[in-house]
Amino acid sequence: MTGTMRAVVKTAYAPGNIELRTIPIPQPGPREILVRVKAAAVCGTDVHIRHWNTWAQARMNPPVVIGHEFSGEVVEVGSDVHTVQVGDRVSSESHISCNNCQICHEGNRHVCPNTKCIGVHQDGCFAEYIVIPEEIAFVYNDPSLPWEQLALMEPLGVSVHGITDVPLAAKAVAIIGAGPLGQMGILTARLTGAAQIIVLEPNAKRAALAKQLGADAVIDPIAEDPVVAVKALTGGYGPHVAVDFSGSKAGMAAAMQYLRPEGQLTCVALPDQSISVSISDFGYRGCSIRGIAGRRMFENWEEMRGLLRRGLDLSPIVTHVLPLEEFEQGLNMTEQGKCGKCILIP
C-alpha cells in the first residue's frame, strides 16, 4: 500500500515536540504485516516521552511515531508471513526481542537485553497504519470484542503477569493503586480465584470503580493507617500477596509491613525514588520482593485468551474515546489521572 497517513510524532530531543504530521504509509518487509489501526490506547510511557524524561532520552531517536497499545485490521502481509492473514483482527506485543541471546534461549524473552519497543525504538501506533513483525501479532477474530477493548491487550498482559506471578486461588491479595492496571488486576484476581481482594486507593472515583469491579474492601491509605487496616481485614496476619500498581514509595513501604510471613510484594510499577528496606525484618518473616517486566512472551498472551473466554470484560476501564487529533487531551487526562483508559481513534 502506498500513500500518506496521519501520525503523532515525537519530533525532537526535548520536552514537548509532539505533533500530528502527515507521513508516508510504512511498507512491510518479508516477515512483517501492515495493520490499519482501529484503536490506540494512551499509556503513561507516552506521557514520559512527551516530558522527555531520562528513560525516554536513553532509548529514543526522534522523529518517531509514538504509541504502543493498539488493535487493528491486517491489510497487507509480507512474502514470508504464514500465521497472519489479510483481514485478521489483531492486537500486538509491544516488545520485540532478539530471540538469539542467552536470556531469550532461557525462555525469558520479556527481559531480553536487546529488546526494541514499538513507539520508542521504532514507529508506533498513534497513526492510521503501523508495521509490526508477524511474531508479535495476536489474532482475535471474535467480532464481539470491541476494538477499544482489543487495544488493551498489551497493558492487560502486564497486569496478568503481576497478578498471576503467585497463584492466588484461595488467597488474600492487596492491590495497591486502582488506576487502569490496578483495575485490570482486580478483574484478573477475581477470575483466577482470589479469596479476598483488598484495594488501596486514595482517589475517590477510582476507589468507587474498584468496588464496582469486585474488590472486597477498599482502603484510603491517606485517611487511615494502611498497615493497621489491611491486617484488621486479614485476621491480623496480612495478605499472602501485595501487588503494587502505583509506584508509590509509601504504598510499597506499607506493604512490606503488612505482608504475612512468607508473603510476596510484586512490583509492577516502579517508584522514582529508592525505598529503604529493613532486610532483617522482611527476611526474618520469609517475605520476598519480585519485579515485573512487561509480559511473559508469550505465555501471558495465551492466559489472556483464557480470561476472555471466561468472560473478562474490560469495558468499565475505557472511560474516554477521542479522535487522533485530540491526542494532547488524552495525554493530559492520563497524566492527571482523570481517566481510566483513553482511546484514540485514527
Within 8 A by CB and 6+ apart from 83, the residues are: 134, 139
62 alpha-carbon distance from chain centroid: 23
Which cell goes with 23? 507521513
Which of these, 187, 329, 170, lies nearest to 245 by C-alpha position? 187
- The beta strand positions in the chain, using DSSP E, are 4-10, 18-24, 32-41, 64-65, 69-77, 89-92, 95-96, 116-117, 129-133, 137-139, 172-176, 196-200, 217-219, 241-244, 264-267, 288-291, 318-323, 341-345
Residue 211 to residue 199: CA distance in whole angstroms: 9
Q: Which amino acid appears at position 284 of this protein? A: Y
Instruction: Give catalytic status of residue 48 as yes or no.
Output: yes
DSSP 222-268: TTS-HHHHHHHHTTTS--SEEEE-S--HHHHHHHHHHSPTT-EEEES
DSSP 8-state assignment for residue 319: E
Q: Which of 11, 22, 45, 192 is catalytic?
A: 45
Residue 201 to residue 96: CA distance in whole angstroms: 33
Instruction: Give catalytic status of residue 320 as yes or no.
Output: no
Which of these, 320, 294, 330, lies nearest to 44 by C-alpha position? 330
Catalytic amino acids?
45, 48
